Structure 1
């Protein structure tokens, strides 16, 4: 539940910030008549994201009849989720300073085209976050006995993001987004490492990868499977009492270098100022 709440909070706040930038631009430009198109695009993006999440679940539970096919499908979606999480985290870190200006520029161009262009622009700005959320959520809850509680946690995270976004837009509340995205990004990298580990396990279950029973460790005697802290580690980071060698290698090989790269301080480029040169004296006649 904590993992899915974090996913909803992070992705929801990104989408909320995008929508608030678009709304603020229209309000300040005295183009409130275009708000309907923005909300139409946002609503369509949400509907498509929900449908995509349902399609993933329907494909796994209904369309794929063989056990190996389901495991392979879940493995592929897990790897895709890891790719999208990694791309989203690093993209947001690099684009955070320029995203507002880019969105305003695109919306200004869409206003010049017409109402449909505004709706399409709002749709495209939000649908990426929604599709990512559906894919990551589906991958994060694989193997859960009951998906209703993680779903409630995801919705709670999205609801929290909407509240935070509204407070930032309508009041004087200010949040250090740099710190927020750094902390949530680091946690999501660990969540993604767990999703990748689960993907490797599914590849082993489907017979694509060997070594399912070749365990790297077994701490079930120390880490009680029924304890709350075991459930927390398993649900948040997929740290289980037992794991195969390939699963453990995958978790460490992704989680450690990506986390270090993400937290590594950006190099500050020193401003280079050209040296002043004195003009050569004019030749004497």
Structure 2
């Protein structure tokens, strides 16, 4: 049992570790951290002056990597310094794309200048979003600032502004999702599209400007709402909990059908673990780090968790489909000596339940914390209970219907539900990684946005989903061909 627990803990730490930047510098002094990191900039300047731009760029990339580890500390000390450093880093990247020595040297020296200014304590101490998360009105102002820089065709500043908006999205998304799920989905889609438009070479200023105008137009009415009802609170839990519920119920129905009692314990352990970690992380983000400072890491955690869960769902869907033949299922039971699930599969059920709950749970808790100041406590609790009751009814109906199904239809339906969730988690995971800037985005207007499938208009998120569908069709056809030959 101890080995099983250690295995699960290791997997969970690996997942969360993917989402959070290396904290090697987190406990140090931000001035000293930047001085250490700046050695790479000094070396890059030397190389650039000698004309070796290729090595200069590689050396600068060391600074860029270290910056991602220390930027939160600098942002907390001085939002202005953070903004200036990010802006100058954008100019460096742009200069390297031009491959002109004088511009590269000038951009690197500009970055060194602002780094020195911060390291020497010349920036005012003001912590940006640390003490107070921004409001939706503030978020719209960030979009307007981005629009202003787009009007000047200032790529560097526009990219810096839209990145600040993306990092701050976690502060306001609860206000949005409580009022409109479609606007919430559109906002996350458009944030990714704008970054891609501005990062293009040359930048697509016209479309970026139009997209920001569209965002401002559909977000502005939501900013005017100052209070919420119990139904708003209920809908948050229903919307955010439905995907997690589908995963958990599919797993529960399966272990009940197989008669494997131990499976329930693993699934419930995963569910409770997901709830616990979600609540703890949400409280830390809200009251220690702040949503604004944690925004990018939240997208990374959500992205990696979604992708990892999608891989596990793909395997589970394939395995369920492969058992839809009654003879295959009976043979599998005999091979396991009446133990329907191996220990490894039991562990995977628990991990999958944890991922499903954890992925949705953190944001759900943050949404409720954000609503707390704008809704009566009685309404908040009533809304939560109503949402939980509706989800409970759905769960009971799904389990009841699932257990009433004959063996073959049960496995077929279960595999379809799990495969649907695999497709959706794949799209959501990749999109979150795009929102965090880890994966590039190629906008394709011909690809529709379909929230039900988490389909977004970019090749990077759509292609993996299409590949999964083609792969599933191919597996079904191959299996059908083999069955026909065996008859």
TM-score, L = length of structure 2: 0.35
Q: C-alpha deviations, 1:81-113, integer Å up to 9, x for none?
A: 232232123211332227884799388599xxx
Q: Do 1:10 and 1:184's aligned partners in 2 also have CA atoms closer than 8 Å?
A: yes
Partner Cα separation in structure 2 for residue 186 and residue 253 of structure 1: 16
Partner Cα separation in structure 1 for residue 469 and residue 365 of structure 2: 23
Partner Cα separation in structure 2 for residue 256 and residue 40 of structure 1: 35
Partner Cα separation in structure 1 for residue 291 and residue 250 of structure 2: 38
> Which one of the candidate residues 4, 18, 39 is aligned to 2:255?
18
Q: Do 2:244 and 2:360's aligned partners in 1 also have CA atoms closer than 8 Å?
A: yes
> Which one of the candidate residues 221, 229, 253 is aligned to 2:463?
253
CA-based RMSD: 5.0
Other-structure match for 1:279? none
Partner Cα separation in structure 1 for residue 445 and residue 482 of structure 2: 50
Q: C-alpha deviations, 1:153-188, integer Å up to 9, x for none?
A: 68755653443334544x566644314422552354
> Which one of the candidate residues 314, 322, 326 is aligned to 1:90?
314
Other-structure match for 2:336? 105
Partner Cα separation in structure 2 for residue 76 and residue 103 of structure 1: 43
Q: Residues 270, 40 of structure 1: CA spacing in aligned structure 2 closer, same or farther, 3 A cutoff?
A: closer
Partner Cα separation in structure 2 for residue 143 and residue 11 of structure 1: 22
Other-structure match for 2:355? 132
Partner Cα separation in structure 2 for residue 60 and residue 218 of structure 1: 35
Q: Do 1:197 and 1:251's aligned partners in 2 also have CA atoms closer than 8 Å?
A: yes
1:56 to partner: Cα distance:
3.6
Matches within 5 A, 1:187-226: 188-201=422-435, 203-204=436-437, 216=443
Q: Match of 1:92, SS?
A: helix
Other-structure match for 1:163? 397
Structure with bigger RCO (C-alpha 8 Å, 6+ apart): 1
User: 1:54 and 2:271 equivalent?
Assistant: no
Q: Residues 209, 129 of structure 1: CA spacing in aligned structure 2 closer, same or farther, 3 A cutoff?
A: closer
Long gaps (5+) in structure 2: 1-237, 373-379
Other-structure match for 1:262? 472
Q: Residues 66, 125 of structure 1: CA spacing in aligned structure 2 closer, same or farther, 3 A cutoff?
A: closer
TM-score, L = length of structure 1: 0.54
How many residues are treated as equivalent by the alignment? 224
Q: Do 1:12 and 1:158's aligned partners in 2 also have CA atoms closer than 8 Å?
A: no
Q: C-alpha deviations, 1:49-80, integer Å up to 9, x for none?
A: 32122234234334434735x12321221222
Q: Which has the higher helix share?
A: 2
Computing the radius of gyration from Cα coordinates, the structure with the larger value is 2
Long gaps (5+) in structure 1: 24-34, 111-119, 224-229, 274-285
Q: Do 2:300 and 2:432's aligned partners in 1 also have CA atoms closer than 8 Å?
A: no
Partner Cα separation in structure 2 for residue 121 and residue 88 of structure 1: 13
Q: Do 1:9 and 1:158's aligned partners in 2 also have CA atoms closer than 8 Å?
A: no
Q: Residues 85, 263 of structure 1: CA spacing in aligned structure 2 closer, same or farther, 3 A cutoff?
A: farther
Q: Match of 1:86, SS?
A: helix
Q: C-alpha deviations, 1:212-240, integer Å up to 9, x for none?
A: xxx94799xxx9xxxxxx9xx4576275x
